[in-house]
Amino acid sequence: MPETKQLTFSHQEIAEALIRYAGLKEGLWGLYVEFGILGTNVTDPSSNLNPAAIVPILKLGLQRFPKGNNLTADAAKVNQPVKKKASK
């Protein structure tokens, strides 16, 4: 079997993982991405300079949402309390 070199996740799966990591217990939380923008000049294959924009991802996180959507997960469902088995 070939070695896996890439794993991909949906926005909702990333939100669920971050909710678990943060220990959130309630609320709808969704993926938050903060971008920056930088200007520079780049050289094309003909050695001509062209103005260009670079848009780095500065931060990834969670933000609270009033309604669910494809970016969100419900913290109450993600971090449900573990039910203990009744002893006999």
Over the stretch 12-45, which tens digit does the pLDDT of each residue have?
Answer: 999 999 999 999 999 999 999 999 999 999 999 9
Question: For residue 14, how many other CB atoms are within 10 A of its CB?
Answer: 17
Task: Report domain extents, the chain.
Answer: 11-78
Question: Which element (helix H / strand E) includes 30?
Answer: strand 28-35
Q: How confident is the model at residue 77 (pLDDT cuts 50, 70, 90)?
A: very high
Q: Flag whether pLDDT at 4 surpasses 80.
A: yes
